């Protein structure tokens, strides 16, 4: 009995020492992580060293792993971001932002061709399971489906992204562009019209909304509506060369044509795009612009 009591006491003492040691390591890890936080903006490499030391002291601290991944993200070391977040998601599978950042890191690798877009899907799916309201995960999953030729699932997930973030104009244009490519212009028009209703009038992303709508109306030969959308796009973005060309050509197709306005837009386009470094890029449009200007001026002018 006496020996058993001594052994029990010794065991409790050892447990106390181990617990104390683990606690000390956790505290040291937090101190190192805080030091990393203080320098990460100016010295990502130094911060990475601090975070890595911290994770060695407390490998179960997923918050520090997330900090380490964000530091790797600053350096665009996407493979290290992904592998670090794989450890974080193992420890904290209910943290949707960990899954999203892991998916994002894989997406950057897919863009460079080192992995496939198929590899990107699972983290975004897990993100949605962890946080069904995280709109970015639906949107990025839609893009992954788009790159793997599953247009229907891409449509579904872009739609889900809009449902969870109705004021993000980019989601509307992504969805509408896909509808247009699938030949579903009526659906695209509805989506773009909804975007105009929810967007801040000062939102520069409305440029894409107006130009996509203008393209739909051009295909339908609804010239008045096409002109209105190109004018709205110009009001958002200003005198972009491509827009000047489109608007000038649109003015020339009105019945009767707005000759003065058409010439003004096409001259502006030619001055910006048909000389110097842009000339090759806009070669076809420059030829069309020159022919349209000659036609608008009339013979012998």
Q: Residue 5 has what pLDDT?
A: 45
The angle formed by the CA atoms of residues 241, 242 and 247, to the nearest 5 degrees, is 100
Fold of the domain built from segment(s) 166-232: 1.25.40
Structure tokens at 25: 């390591």
Q: Residue 157 has what pLDDT?
A: 98
Coil vs helix vs strand at 39: helix
DSSP string, 149-209: T-HHHHHHHHHHHHHH-TT-HHHHHHHHHHHHHTT-HHHHHHHHHHHHHHS-TT-TTHHHH
Over its C-alpha atoms, the chain yields an Rg (Å, rounded) of 29
Structure tokens at 136: 């970015």
Residue with tokens 């911060």: 47
Our measurement of the distance from residue 60's CA atom to the centroid of its chain's CA atoms, rounded to an integer in Å, reads 31
Residue 34 belongs to what H/E stretch? helix 2-39
Do the Cβ atoms of 110 and 117 come closer than 8 Å? Answer: yes
Structure tokens at 188: 């695209």
Structure tokens at 4: 């058993």
Domains 36-161 and 166-232 share a fold: yes
Phi, psi of 244 (to 5 degrees): -60, -40
Domain boundaries, the chain: 36-161, 166-232, 239-289
Distance CA 106, CA 119 (A): 7
Distance CA 161, CA 151 (A): 15
Is 68 exposed, middle or buried, given 0-12, 13-18 or 19+ CB atoms closer than 10 A? buried
Mean pLDDT, 10 residues at a time, the chain of 301 residues: 41 38 84 94 96 95 97 97 98 97 98 96 98 98 98 98 97 98 98 96 94 97 97 90 94 94 95 88 94 86 47
Question: Which CATH code for domain 36-161?
Answer: 1.25.40.10
């Amino acid at each position: 009995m006496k020996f058993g009591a001594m052994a029990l006491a010794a065991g409790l003492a050892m447990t106390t020492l181990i617990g104390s040691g683990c606690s000390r390591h956790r505290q040291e890890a937090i101190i190192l992580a805080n030091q990393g936080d203080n320098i990460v903006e100016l010295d990502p490499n130094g911060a990475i060293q601090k975070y890595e030391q911290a994770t060695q002291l407390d490998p179960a601290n997923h918050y520090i792993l997330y900090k380490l991944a964000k530091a790797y993200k600053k350096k665009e070391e996407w493979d290290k971001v992904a592998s670090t977040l794989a450890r974080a998601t193992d420890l904290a599978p209910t943290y949707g932002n960990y899954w999203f950042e892991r998916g994002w890191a894989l997406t950057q690798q897919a863009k460079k061709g080192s992995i496939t877009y198929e590899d990107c899907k699972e983290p975004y799916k897990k993100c949605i399971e962890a946080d069904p309201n995280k709109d970015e995960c639906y949107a990025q999953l839609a893009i992954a489906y788009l790159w793997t030729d599953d247009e229907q699932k891409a449509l579904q997930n872009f739609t889900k992204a809009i449902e969870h973030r109705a004021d993000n104009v980019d989601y509307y244009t992504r969805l509408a562009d896909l509808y247009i490519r699938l030949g579903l212009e009526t659906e695209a028009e509805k989506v773009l019209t909804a975007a105009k209703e929810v967007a801040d009038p000062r939102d520069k992303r409305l440029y894409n909304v107006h130009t996509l709508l203008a393209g739909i109306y051009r295909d339908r030969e609804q010239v008045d509506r096409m002109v209105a959308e190109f004018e709205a796009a110009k009001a958002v973005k200003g005198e972009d060369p491509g827009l000047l060309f489109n608007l000038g050509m649109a003015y020339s197709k009105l019945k009767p044509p707005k000759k003065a306005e058409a010439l003004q837009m096409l001259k502006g386009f030619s001055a910006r795009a048909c000389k110097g470094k842009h000339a090759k890029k806009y070669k076809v449009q420059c030829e069309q612009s020159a022919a349209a200007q000659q036609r608008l001026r009339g013979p012998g002018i």
